[in-house]
Amino acid sequence: MQASDKIEQLLALIVALRHPQTGSAWDIKQNFRSLAPYAIEEAYEVVDAVNRNNKQDLCEELGDLLLQIVYHARLAEEEGSFNFNNVVQAVNSKLIRRHAHIFGPAAAKTARLDAAAHKQQWQAIKMQEKAAKGQGNIYYLDAVSSALPAVLEAAKLQEKAEATGFDWVEARPVLRKLQEELKELQEAIKKGSAEEQMAEYGDVIFTLINLGRKIRANFEDSLKKTNQKFRRRFTYIEKELQKRHRNLAAANIVEMETLWNEAKEKEEKNKERVNNTP
């Protein structure tokens, strides 16, 4: 079976699942809004498989992400707005349009663009596309989509501002700014105003993201590693409690902190052992 045949089979499966009389009760009641969180979740699962370098999982997760695309296209077809073929045609046209130096009429005569020139051309074509739709950017930061996850949006806003010179060159001034923001957060907590606390907390996170950029520490990777560390140490607490025929509900904070520190010490000793191994 060719890839095109399998795509047709997938499309037919979604049609069957959505059939008002014979389809699945869960599938029939879905809409764009109810499915949107799954698209985000599946995209993160793809990234996770890449980070774990697990090709089998990556294959499966890419299929799950494709399912979300096909599903949304089917919903659109049902309401008469577009279908899956339109989705494929749109991305094909966009790739050709944004790689004029490869697919355009003068492709054979044009020297291959380096990465910087290609990025510049890509951005220029994007601007032309938006202008054609009446969506041209009015201000400089309009180029950063507000639909992005907040952390990613913050990083991209900072990158755009940095390109104009509106940013610190090194990490130390950002550290001082972080200390200033933390002090303001402490003051907001003292006041007890939920609105002020939220605002100052956001300023702290924004500054932390900037600090990560300055020290070349990817915020997503850094936090993911900390999450993994927290999982390991908390699971250690649970395992040790089980050895004592106890559970998390029965343990007090002192006992749990003792086990946490024990897990931390063991990790540090293992790290030293690995580093000292010739």
Domains in the chain: boundaries = 3-98, 109-136, 150-214, 219-276
Phi and psi at residue 105, to the nearest 5°: -60, -25
Scanning the structure block, which residue is given the tokens 């931390």? 264
The pLDDT > 70 percentage for the chain reads 87
Kindly report, residue by residue over 136-150, the tens digit of the pLDDT: 567 888 888 888 889
Cβ–Cβ < 8 Å for 84, 72: no
Reported confidence tier of residue 219, pLDDT bands at 50, 70, 90: confident
Cβ–Cβ < 8 Å for 216, 197: no
In the prediction, which pLDDT does 212 show? 95
Phi-psi region of 19 (alpha: psi -120 to 50; beta: other; left: phi over 0): beta
Rg of the Cα trace of the chain? Answer: 26
In the prediction, which pLDDT does 134 show? 66
Reported confidence tier of residue 34, pLDDT bands at 50, 70, 90: very high
How many Cβ atoms from other residues are within 10 Å of residue 161's Cβ? Answer: 15
CA distances from 133 to 93, 98, 124, 127, 192 (A): 15, 16, 15, 10, 46
pLDDT over threshold 90, residue 69: yes
Who contacts 71 (Cβ-Cβ below 8 Å, separation ≥6)? 14, 30, 35
Kindly report, residue by residue over 131-189, the tens digit of the pLDDT: 666 665 678 888 888 888 899 899 999 999 998 999 999 999 999 999 999 999 999 99
Kindly report, residue by residue over 220-230, the tens digit of the pLDDT: 889 989 999 99
Q: 150-214 architecture in CATH?
A: Orthogonal Bundle (1.10)
Identical fold for domains 3-98 and 150-214, yes or no, is yes
Superfamily assignment of 3-98 in CATH? Answer: MazG-like (1.10.287.1080)
In the prediction, which pLDDT does 136 show? 58
Reported confidence tier of residue 64, pLDDT bands at 50, 70, 90: very high
In the prediction, which pLDDT does 3 show? 75
| CA distance linking residue 192 with residue 186, whole number of Å | 10
How many Cβ atoms from other residues are within 10 Å of residue 83's Cβ? Answer: 15
